[in-house]
Chain A
Amino acid sequence: MKPKIVSFTLNGRPVDVMVRPMTTLQNVLRRQLELTATKAGCRQGSCGSCTVLVNGEPMAACLLPIEDVEGQEVLTLEGITPLHGLHPIQEAFFENFAVQCGYCTPGMIMVTKALLEREPRPDEATIREALSGNLCRCTGYQAIVQAVTDAADRLHGNGGVS
């Protein structure tokens, strides 16, 4: 199949990429655009390390043909990371020791971003459900769940709850 141009918005900027059909968004991000925050864990859609937001919804970039994001808005971890310092969700992960090897972290953070936009103050069960497509081999999840709760506080105030 012949290469073609796919246009979409990436981290707030328009991009056009020349790709072979059915190339995954993951490969376009990591290999073509060299945006490697989006990880490549299982490449089978089961680990969540490649999670990006497409129009605000978490998607596994490893299963997404690039044609499917034509005209859509894609947000990766690079897109939420400020030039200096960290995004409040990143701060929360850092402060709560929710990162060990770090390979699951970008996916966890992108899911957290989508969750907290939909639900500013999620309870623990909601957090675990939202993260259920994301595997972590190191932390045992407890610190990650704490980090998401902390991130909600950082983004939306602690609502008088200490």
Chain B
Amino acid sequence: MAKHRGVGMAAVNYPTGMNLGGDPSQALIHATTTGTFVITLSSTDLGQGLKTVIAQIGAEALGVPFENVLIDTADTDTGPHCMGTFASRATHRVGNAVIRAAEEARKVMFEVASEELEVAPEDLETDGQGNIRVKGSPEHSINIVDLALAAHFKYGKTISGRGMYIKPKSEVDPDTGAMDPDSTEAHACTVAEVEVDDETGEVKVLSIKSAYEIGRQVNPKLVEGQIQGGSLMGMAHALYETTAPYYPAIDHAPGGFNEYIVPGPQDQPEIESVVLEYPSVNGPFGVKGVGEMTANSPIPAIINAIHDAVGVWITELPATPEKILRALEEKRKEEERGAE
């Protein structure tokens, strides 16, 4: 009776967005009279940081400071249409829509600035600090607050823009079967290290180390948060979580949150990750999705590590102590039969 260590590896190739009947999202931008750029969406921030990254993308595309951007979202009664926050699609789809809306809003911004500064719109640029200035002559500039006020009260214009991004539906080629169901794909590889107790069947995950290739990172800390959280969710799927431990029987099914096992602060293994940035062709500033994929590769990596540790394959999740002990017993019996 002993504890055995094992190492396992798994890789994931994850599509951003979906196909179905096409995958659209819309964004609307308008400037308030005091130069706040409101980006109206229906896309929901689930905590992954969508509002932050969309504000970053919007600020970059508009050429205004991050602080001047306000995200107004999640009311599907009043907002422009969004397919939703799923399929790791939101940053890609909504970001693209916002860039298009920003292009239209910038056009109006430059038209008004052109009147105010008495130069052609094409001779103007944003400085990213809240000013529009004459190229090569930065002392000739106008602050976006003054600009927004002038647009509204002097010229009767709304600084606004409409943006739409759609990934058109891709049909299957009847001859070859070829299709283009997603926009871009992110990749990751995870190595998990475990310790399996062959007496109790318990598995302790010691570390989860991953390399991610996810296009351009809009916000590296939020990406890290997705990877850390996903790693632990993956571990929980691999070892603990189920609503039917004896599926299809409902015996011992959790009757409430109390009995549904999720890892706590003391169950967290060492989590490490590196990110490679290979920008995608069609994402806003080259992004790909890094949401759901983070909970994927840890699961097979842990199952492979269990095999490496004690030589049994667990083929149904989660890998509970009972399943591991039964598999070990089966293995011993087979070895005894082989020895006879």
Contact = CB atoms under 8 A, between A and B. Distances in A.
Interface string B121-140: 00000000000000000000
Contact of B271 (A41, A129, A132, A142): A142
B176 interface: no
A135 B268 contact: no
B276 to A, nearest CB: 21
A44 B256 contact: yes
Interface residues of B, number: 23
B271 A140 contact: yes
> Which of A44, A45, A46, A138 has the most C-beta atoms of chain B within 10 angstroms of its own C-beta?
A138
Interface in B22-51: 46-49
A138 B47 contact: yes
B225 interface: yes
A132 B268 contact: no
B96 interface: no
A136 B230 CA distance: 12
A134 B271 CA distance: 20
Nearest to B227: A140
B236 to A, nearest CB: 9
A140 B229 contact: yes
A33 interface: no
Contacts of B266: 128-129, 132
Interface in A22-63: 41-42, 44-47
A41 B228 CA distance: 22
A102 B256 CA distance: 22
Contact of A139 (B46, B225, B256, B257): B225
A44 B225 contact: no
B265 interface: yes
B21 interface: no
B222 interface: yes
Contacts of B262: 135, 137
B257 A128 contact: no
Contacts of A46: 257-258
Nearest to B234: A140
A100 interface: yes
Interface of A: 41-42, 44-47, 97, 99-102, 127-129, 131-145
Given A132-B266, A140-B230, A143-B228, 12 more contacts: A41-B257, A42-B256, A47-B257, A101-B47, A127-B265, A129-B266, A131-B265, A138-B48, A138-B229, A139-B229, A140-B225, A141-B264
Interface of B: 46-49, 221-222, 224-225, 228-233, 256-258, 262, 264-266, 268, 271
